[in-house]
Structure 1
Amino acid sequence: MEIGLPYGKAKQIVKLDKSCLNDILVSKIEDYHPEQSQTELVAAAIQNPVDSQKLRQLSIDKKKVVIIASDHTRPVPSKIIMPLMLSEIRKGNPEAEITILIATGFHRLTTREELVGKFGETIVDTEKIVVHDSGDESSLVKIGTLPSGGELIINKLAAEADLLVSEGFIEPHFFAGFSGGRKSVLPGIASRVSVLANHCGEFIAHPKARTGVIEGNPLHIDMLYAARTAKLAFVVNVVINSEKEVIHAVAGDCDAAHIKGREFLEKLCKVQATPSDIVITSNGGYPLDQNIYQAVKGMTAAEAAVKQDGVIIMLAKSNDGHGGEAFFNTFRDEKDLKKMLNGFVNTPRDETIPDQWEAQILARILLKAKVIYISAAPETMIKAFQMTPAKDVNEALALARDYLKNEEATVTVIPDGVAVIVE
């Protein structure tokens, strides 16, 4: 049979004999078809907020309003969400001074071209947009101390806002449990110092820092504290399908609305794994598969489904390269994965190095399974990460069988590794 997997803005097709196929793990999201249009879903959520006044009511008499928006690495349908939020705020206060603050977190800065792709020309040309820079100390201010003990430092624009709100989307997240909600503040508009404290080796190694887990997750506890301390008053979050279309929307309190959203998502995206010799997955295609850094997320779904010493085949176009200089340098400079992992776990929270968390999780995956990586990135770069490069999924499958010395190796396919919670 033939199975399509997202790759960049296209797909690759893997050809499999049914006799070796253990399972295809997919979210039920694709079977969910709302009766309302995308715009109607978002508009209805904004008008029926969870545990909050309406956005227009919150906007009354608020002069400085900041809307936190996701960056170029997230497929948030901002062309739908942002006009509705802007309109609603101005209905409450036509004189509001609105700033759209791009939550880059620890990522590179978003370009104008990417902003246009995200919002459209009109919003980019007419609204005030500021791209957050986590390393620019002049634009940051300390507002508290995280439960973990790290300093909570965020963008001054957000800290000085009369009203702070955000847009985003909810999906399974490989160490924060779920994306969306409180993540707009930390890591979204936080300083490097705060992100490093939150993403420390101790927390990443914590058994509760896993996909779909919120209760007892130390990263989530920090993140929610940050959102509350920053006075994040209102969020608009959506759930999207593989076509990046809105199928559900929630709005209101940053925690209560997020809970409603993730309850909806959880019912659709939890899947049970049948351990296989080979697991084939992707990072959901563009924009989530632009670099190796982001692709680690999809690999964690395969990690949960592959047998010890099996093979993971990962499709991620990675046209933007490794996605993190420190992430790349860690693998370039240390070849002993066990030593690398132990070093991360034993690094004090306040000494966390940039991108340590991504390297820590990739090292953990590589100690469980061989990874064959399909991308447009240079082969030398893939090999530096101790992965095996391949041109396409069928070549990768042949390499996997050859490595295992088993032509009848069992296979599980997870078409979109970031869209499921694999149990």
Structure 2
Amino acid sequence: MPTVTLPYGKDSIPYQIPDDRFAGELVSHLREYQAPASQADLVAAALANPIGSPRLSELARGKKNVVLIASDHTRPVPSKVIVPQMLAEIRSQNPDADITILIATGCHRGTTRDELVGKFGPQIVQDEKIVVHDCDESEMTHVGQLPSGGDLVVNRIAVDADLLVAEGFIEPHFFAGYSGGRKSVLPGVASRTTVLYNHNAAFIASDKARTGVLDGNPIHADMLYAARTVGLAFICNVVINEDKEVVYAVAGDADEAHRTGCRFLASKCQVDAAEADIVISTNGGYPLDQNIYQAVKGMTAAEACVRPGGVVVMLAKSNDGHGGEEFYRTFRDEKDLGRLTSTFLSTPKDETRVDQWESQILARVLTKASVVYVSDAPAEMVTDMHMTPAHSVEEGVTKAEQILRDQRASIVAIPDGVAVMVV
């Protein structure tokens, strides 16, 4: 019987699927990709050969106030590899630069000190000036209107920078097309008002707001405009494998370099859909499977494969629970998915509710298929969110069979639902 290995938290779970029920395993080709150099050397080479931009060291000449936007605790960015080299590059031509590392939390909770140490190592946390963005409490500046009409309001630290740069990583993103690049600014260090407008229901419903799509994507268009307007001058983004190691790095212009990285990723992680009655997916393990909110991403890969009326068995440890109070209450308080979706679509852009976008996408998945949710989250919480709780893969598949009333239902496995682009 084929055995698939499913990431769960910081561990992984092997699961055997009977031959006569196995309809395929969808994996990113990054799994077998052999990086041509070490992680540090890949980043160094990218910084030495930027795309569409002078070197970071040249950009830093004469700049007093330099801000480096870094990812938060919800992203498996190998910041220990990237940030020290970016800091060294800046200081090589500007040793007296006043550098602030601004943590791009978007609308997430604040990153803790222990999480910062985990991301950067103790030395950077001790030696560098680090500020955690708060979309509600940080001092903000209005810098214009987005192409879609919303107010562009961004953390003043980023706006006031003489040089604004960012680190990050590129992965498939279920409505922005890809992560990385311009997302460091919006949603990374934008106000809640701006993020909510950008994530409005009409945009989320667009057939261009999908994994792997940038051109024509209204969400991406706003994000790129925000990055340009605020002056994001340079990025260093990486692509990582299933072990969260750098296998590719790109640096330079926030759009041109980012698109180069996206093309590389697409060449490695696009897979053809394989239809099945049951689709098992994960969120790639820690840190992306810490809550139900983030796990919706992995569900969308399964959504592309599961037959209408089928079952998604989603594995996500969810040790942090639901991940968003409004997100949770939306499903707890409304049992009719059709009415829920209608409510989203009738909500004006400037009245978008907190986490509405994630709710809208989860409702879309649940409208197509049932979801059995394998996690450490309280069973009542999972049930409140219109899903069936389970605590092991075996239990999850058994419950899927019970829903389908079919113990011979076909099964597709997607070991990392956020690492593949199902087409």
How far apart, CA to CA, are the structure 1 residues paired with 2:405 and 2:398? 10
Match of 1:341 in 2: 341
Say yes or no: does 1:122 pair with 2:123: yes
Is the 1:58–1:92 contact (alpha carbons within 8 Å) kept by the matching residues of 2?
A: no
Letter of the aligned partner of 1:57 in structure 2? E
How far apart, CA to CA, are the structure 1 residues paired with 2:94 and 2:420? 40
How far apart, CA to CA, are the structure 1 residues paired with 2:319 and 2:5? 20
Letter of the aligned partner of 2:174 in structure 1? F
Say yes or no: does 1:93 pair with 2:124: no
Query: What are the within-5 Å matches in structure 2 for residues 15-414 of structure 1?
Result: 15-136=16-137, 139-414=139-414
Indicate the SS of the match to 2:96. coil
Deviations 1:189-247 (A, max 9, x none): 00000000000000000111111111110000000000000100000000000000000
Is the 1:15–1:394 contact (alpha carbons within 8 Å) kept by the matching residues of 2?
A: no
Unmatched tracts of structure 1, length 5 or more: none
Identity of aligned residues (%): 61
Deviations 1:293-317 (A, max 9, x none): 0000000000000000000000000
Unmatched tracts of structure 2, length 5 or more: none
Indicate the SS of the match to 2:330. helix
Letter of the aligned partner of 2:105 in structure 1? T
CA shift at 1:403, angstroms? Answer: 1.3
How far apart, CA to CA, are the structure 1 residues paired with 2:205 and 2:179? 19
How far apart, CA to CA, are the structure 2 residues paired with 1:263 and 1:19? 36
Indicate the SS of the match to 2:304. helix
Letter of the aligned partner of 2:76 in structure 1? P
How far apart, CA to CA, are the structure 1 residues paired with 2:376 and 2:135? 28
Letter of the aligned partner of 1:161 in structure 2? A
Match of 1:419 in 2: 419
Deviations 1:371-394 (A, max 9, x none): 000111100100010000001001
CA shift at 1:13, angstroms? Answer: 1.9
How far apart, CA to CA, are the structure 2 residues paired with 1:280 and 1:354? 29
TM-score normalized with structure 2 length: 0.99
Indicate the SS of the match to 1:399. helix
Is the 1:153–1:194 contact (alpha carbons within 8 Å) kept by the matching residues of 2?
A: yes
How far apart, CA to CA, are the structure 2 residues paired with 1:395 and 1:353? 35
Deviations 1:298-337 (A, max 9, x none): 0000000000000000000000010011101111111111
TM-score normalized with structure 1 length: 0.99
Indicate the SS of the match to 1:33. coil
How far apart, CA to CA, are the structure 2 residues paired with 1:68 and 1:53? 19
Q: How many equivalent pairs are there?
A: 422
Moved over 3 A (4+): none
How far apart, CA to CA, are the structure 2 residues paired with 1:106 and 1:368? 28
CA shift at 1:35, angstroms? Answer: 2.1
How far apart, CA to CA, are the structure 1 residues paired with 2:396 and 2:288? 21
Quote the RMSD (CA, aligned, Å): 0.6
